Structure formats: C-alpha cells, structure tokens
Amino acid sequence: MRGGDHNEKRQSKRLDLSIPMSIRHKSEDGKEKTQEGLTINVSYNGAYLVDISLKDISPKDKINISLSVPRDDARDFPFSRVIGKANVVRVDKEGVALEFGDEVSRLFVAN
C-alpha cells in the first residue's frame, strides 16, 4: 500500500506519547506471555506499541493490556489508565496497532 492510499479511520485524536504498556497474550506453545513495550502514540480508542517481540501476535488477536498515563500528561488526555482486552488491528515490522474496544476500562482524570 502506498502512503497516499491510506485512508484515515481514526475516530479520535492521537497524542505522541512514549509511555510503558504491559501486554499479556498466549504464545505458540499455549503459555501466557507478558511483555513490556512503549507506545509511540495513544488515543481514546487505541495505541501503537513498539519495542516488543511480535512473534506470537497477529491481526485480530485479543491481548490483555495495561497502560498508565503519567500525571504530567494526564491533564492533556481524557484518561489516566487503561486496562482490559485490546484488539490487534495491524502488525508490522516496527510494532503493533491496538484498538481499545468495549473490553477495556478507562480510569478518567478528575478535574
């Protein structure tokens, strides 16, 4: 796919945030595997995660995630914590695109 052919499907603005995210998923041998990665951007509906092993992750997988937005960034963001099951939308050589659906909980920042 050429860069100009990509249609933007995001429903909410993404912020360039590099924050740790923990993921849990089943490996090929059926054992649960936990990894820590870094986001390069995050929105209300998803994130792009890098610095993880992509060996056992495929599009359409559901993986358990845990993400905490640092206090300094939380005032510019609609939530401070996300936990639950995210959908794997895309896997490429750099990382994985995740969608936060109905199976995630968001802890909102109180103003």
The number of distinct structural domains making up the chain is 1
**3 part of a folded domain:** no
Phi, psi of 7 (to 5 degrees): -90, 130
Measured distance CA(24)–CA(103) in Å, rounded: 14
**What range defines the domain where residue 82 resides?**
11-107
**1 part of a folded domain:** no
pLDDT for the residue 15: 81
> For each of the chain's 111 residues, which pLDDT tens digit applies?
333 333 445 466 778 889 999 999 988 888 999 999 999 999 889 999 999 999 899 999 999 999 988 777 666 666 788 999 999 999 999 999 999 999 999 887 665
Q: CATH number of the domain that 67 lies in? A: 2.40.10.220
**2 part of a folded domain:** no
Any long-range contacts for 51-59 (C-beta under 8 Å, 24+ apart)?
A: 51/95, 52/23, 52/95, 52/96, 54/91, 54/95, 54/96, 55/27, 55/28, 56/25, 56/26, 56/27, 56/28, 57/25, 57/88, 57/91, 57/96, 58/88, 58/91, 59/88, 59/89, 59/90, 59/91
